[in-house]
Amino acid sequence: MKKALVLALAMVALGAISASATTVLYVPMNKSVDLSEVILLGHVLRMEPAYNAEGEIVTRIDLLVEEGLKGGVERSAIFSFFARGGSLDGVHVETVGEAKYRLGERVLVQLESIDGEYYTLGLAFGKWNVAQERDGRPVMIRNLSDLHMVGAEETPVDKFPLQRMRDIAALRQAF
């Protein structure tokens, strides 16, 4: 009886996790750089609800590019990509696990092309907020709280030096 109760509680706990998180396959940093078609550092300039090519509600994000790490996008360009969900025509759609953006924030985004439109790689997995360490060095921080990672052979990285990302992107493009 005691084992059945523990098993039942474990199943309820797992159900609660899956109801509040989206499951994604974890990939190490080198692999995530390889999977990203575009990697940009910049500031969120504008956010606007729209319909994508499939007729789904999305939010178009315009990023003022500070630096293109991968994909050939030039500094000072405005690059548009999409986040799933948004509010349009009286309908609100929220995608659990999707990256959340705010106007003016400095971010590094890893983007993938899906049917010709760019989206954040792995929902929130490919969005990093850029902040400063106490010693002044820039660091990238991401929020993975709405994602349930599977296939992780290492602890998922949620804080990473910006310079290290630059180095990895440059090295991976050399191949």
* Cβ-based neighbours of 136, under 8 Å, separated by 6 or more: none
Query: Is pLDDT above 70 for 29?
Result: yes
* Cβ-based neighbours of 33, under 8 Å, separated by 6 or more: 39, 70, 110, 165, 168, 169, 172
User: Which pLDDT tens digit goes with each residue over 103-130?
Assistant: 999 999 999 999 999 999 999 999 999 9
Which one, of 6, 70, 66, 58, lies nearest residue 32 by Cα?
70
Of the two residues 58 and 15, the one the predictor is more confident about is 58
Query: Is pLDDT above 60 for 79?
Result: yes
Query: Is pLDDT above 90 for 6?
Result: no
Radius of gyration (Cα) for the chain, nearest Å?
18
Query: Is pLDDT above 70 for 18?
Result: no
What fold, for 22-173? OB fold (Dihydrolipoamide Acetyltransferase, E2P) (2.40.50)
**pTM reported for the whole predicted model:** 0.85
Average pLDDT over residues 122-141: 95
- The ranges assigned to domains in the chain are 22-173
Of the two residues 13 and 143, the one the predictor is more confident about is 143
Considering only 32-41, 44-53, 64-73, 154-163, which range has the smallest mean pLDDT?
154-163
pLDDT at residue 20, rounded to an integer: 67
Average pLDDT over residues 17-41: 86
